[in-house]
Structure 1
Amino acid sequence: MLLTPGPTALPPSVRDVMSEELINPDVDPAFADRYDALLDKLGTVFGTDDEVVVMGGEGILGLEAAIASTVEPGDRVLCLSNGPYGDGFTDFVESYGAESTLVDADYDDSLPVVELERTLAAGEYDVATMVHCETPTGTLNDLSPALDLLDEHGVLTIVDAVSSLGGAPVPTDRIDICLGASQKCFSAPPGLAIASVSDVAWDRIEARDPASLYTNLLPWHEAEQPYPYTHLTTLVVALDEALDLLLDEGLDAVHDRHREVAAYCRERGAEMGLDPYPDPERSSPTVTAFSVPGRATALQERLREAHDVTLATGFGDLADDVLRVGHMGYNADPDRVERAMDALAAER
């Protein structure tokens, strides 16, 4: 049983549609119609009227494309971070010749809003990046204080919401480029990077001199048909089916289900003496990271070999200190999480 924080297990109907006869996305109008409908569904999940782009590539493609499309040498980019993905935005920024300023906090702390305020008061910035759900640490960040400050200073905002969209409310209407991906809370296969792009962001993108073509969002905006390149047909069909399941259930019900399953997971962990890695007030409804210093890898291997349950460990310095349960999308299911926690209790 796969219970990792992405890629998630797939619902049976999503697996079924992937075996349907292939549609040629370049010549068959049926695919274009389905793609248009898909964009409407994504707009509903994102909670935005902004244009939505679905690119062929894993979620990291969206993060790089957002930077590649909005910055050029000489631009100043503020990267707000309390986790590995927040830190990683600096690599994208610098690879495209812009100047990055990292405003960071410890991985088990909240976003450093006070330091952000000081930094904005001391200089001007063109773009700011941040992460809503830091999957490696199981942290869900409150973005509102940072978005308030950045709006006051007229800074364009890019948010990685890959691990929260579809599992928790995201303030997309306050974000210029909001990034998602198919393999997390949507419970579709990996391979599609998704972005909602505001009119302000498009204005900036159109004024840039892009250093890349394929990681540039502009061709998607200017294409005569909805997509500028041959699309990943089977993955689009799978995502469309996954979105139907999500919307049929209803966004509020889906968000409630994620919160309830997360609470159950943490209650079971507490019974075993396991603490969430971040403060419980900052723990994400889509993933729980338990602190297991020096034992994560051994526990992961034992759970997989003895119980056929696959969980995830941490990243970097936390690789052997954090064990993660991915209760997102199809995996936000009490029975699946119960089985995982029973297995963990047997090995605790």
Structure 2
Amino acid sequence: MLMTPGPTALPPPVREAASEELLNPDVDPAFADRYDALLRKLATVFGTDDEVVVLGGEGILGLEAAIASTVAPGDRVLCLSNGPYGDGFADFVENYGGEATLVGTDYDDALPIDDLERTLDEGEFDLATMVHCETPTGTLNRLGPALDLFEAHDVLTVVDAVSSLGGVPVPTDRIDVALGASQKCFSAPPGLAVCSVSDAAWERIEARDPDSLYTNLLPWHDAEQPYPYTHLSTLVVALSAALDVVLAEGLDAVYDRHREAARVCRDRGRELGLEPFPDPERSSPTVTAFSVPGQATELQARLHREQEVTLSTGLGGLEDDVLRVGHMGYNADVEKVTRAMDAVRAVR
């Protein structure tokens, strides 16, 4: 049983859609219709009237494309972070010639809003980045206070919502570039990055006029040629089917299901003497990261070998100290979570 925080297990309608006869995205009108329908469904899940783009690549492509498209050499970018992906935005900024200012804190802390306010008062910034759900630590960040400050200082925002979009509400209407991916809460196969782009962000991208193709959002803004290279048609069809499942259930019901699965996971963890890595009040409804100092890799191996359950460990310096249970998308299911935690109990 796959219970990782992405890729997730696929529901039957998605597996069936992925097995359909291949559509040629370059010449088949049926693909254009499916693609247009996918964009409308994504806009509903994003909760936005902004333009939506679907890139042919894993979620990291979306993060890099957002920076490659909006950051020119010498631009000042504030990277607000309390996790590995927040830190990683600074690397992207430097790679594209921007000047990154990292306002960070320990990975088990809340976003450093006081430090952010001081930094914004002391200097001017062209762009800001942050992460909604830091998957490696199981943290769901409160974006409101930071967005208030960025709006007050007229700073455009790029937000990684890869592990929250479709599982918890995302304040997309306050974000200039909001990023998601197919393999997380949508429970579609990995391989598509999705993003919503505000009018202000498009103005910046047009002024920047990036010279790349694959990491450039601008070609997707051409209404006469909605996808600038051969799209990943099977993945588009599968993601569309996954969104049908989400929208048929209803977003409010989906969010409730994620919260309940998270509650059961953490209650069972406490029974085993396990606590979430961050403060439980900041733990994400889509993933639980249990603190298991020095035990994570051994527990992961035993779970896979003895219980046929696949969980994830932490990343980087947390690899052996954090065990992660993904309860997102199709896996936000109390019965599945219960089975996964029964397996954890068996190997503890």
Bin the TM-score by the shorter chain: over 0.9
Unpaired segments ≥5 residues, structure 1 = none
Partner of 1:71: 71
Partner of 2:11: 11
User: How large is the Cα RMSD of the aligned pairs?
Assistant: 0.6
Partner of 2:32: 32
Deviations 1:316-345 (A, max 9, x none): 111000000000000001111111000101
SS of structure 1 residue aligned to 2:78: strand
Partner of 1:245: 245
Partner of 1:53: 53
Q: CA deviation at 1:226?
A: 2.0
**Does residue 169 in structure 1 map to residue 139 in structure 2?**
no
**Does residue 44 in structure 1 map to residue 44 in structure 2?**
yes
Partner of 1:260: 260
**In the aligned structure 1, how far is the partner of 2:225 from the partner of 2:166?**
27
Partner of 2:111: 111
AA in 2 matched with 1:239: L
How do 1:198-277 residues align onto structure 2 when only pairs under 5 Å count? 198-277=198-277
AA in 1 matched with 2:85: Y
**In the aligned structure 2, how far is the partner of 1:206 from the partner of 1:75?**
15
Partner of 2:328: 328
Q: CA deviation at 1:212?
A: 2.0
SS of structure 2 residue aligned to 1:226: coil
Q: What's the TM-score, normalizing by structure 2? A: 0.99
**In the aligned structure 2, how far is the partner of 1:5 from the partner of 1:230?**
29
**In the aligned structure 2, how far is the partner of 1:336 from the partner of 1:315?**
24
**In the aligned structure 2, how far is the partner of 1:115 from the partner of 1:297?**
35
Q: CA deviation at 1:347?
A: 1.1
Partner of 1:308: 308
Q: CA deviation at 1:211?
A: 4.3
Partner of 1:129: 129
**In the aligned structure 2, how far is the partner of 1:85 from the partner of 1:222?**
30
**In the aligned structure 2, how far is the partner of 1:281 from the partner of 1:291?**
15
Identical counterparts, % of pairs = 79
**In the aligned structure 2, how far is the partner of 1:18 from the partner of 1:130?**
33
SS of structure 1 residue aligned to 2:193: strand
Task: Please list every run of at least 4 consecutive aligned residues from structure 1 whose deviation after the TM superposition is greater than 6 angstroms.
Answer: none
How do 1:133-152 residues align onto structure 2 when only pairs under 5 Å count? 133-152=133-152
Partner of 1:91: 91
Q: CA deviation at 1:209?
A: 3.6
**In the aligned structure 1, how far is the partner of 2:222 from the partner of 2:31?**
19
8 Å Cα contact 1:126/1:156 also seen in 2: yes
Deviations 1:260-316 (A, max 9, x none): 000000000000010100000000000000000000000000000000000000011
**In the aligned structure 2, how far is the partner of 1:211 from the partner of 1:328?**
36
Partner of 2:192: 192
Q: CA deviation at 1:224?
A: 1.2
Q: CA deviation at 1:228?
A: 1.4
8 Å Cα contact 2:209/2:218 also seen in 1: no
Q: CA deviation at 1:222?
A: 1.7
Aligned length: 348
Partner of 1:23: 23
Partner of 1:292: 292
AA in 1 matched with 2:25: P
AA in 1 matched with 2:177: I
AA in 1 matched with 2:205: I
**In the aligned structure 2, how far is the partner of 1:155 from the partner of 1:206?**
17
**In the aligned structure 2, how far is the partner of 1:134 from the partner of 1:124?**
26
Q: CA deviation at 1:237?
A: 0.3
Partner of 1:182: 182
Instruction: Return closer, same or farther for 1:211/1:98 CA change in 2, 3 Å cut-off.
Output: farther
Q: CA deviation at 1:223?
A: 4.7
SS of structure 2 residue aligned to 1:288: strand
Q: CA deviation at 1:13?
A: 1.3
AA in 1 matched with 2:143: L
8 Å Cα contact 1:80/1:111 also seen in 2: yes
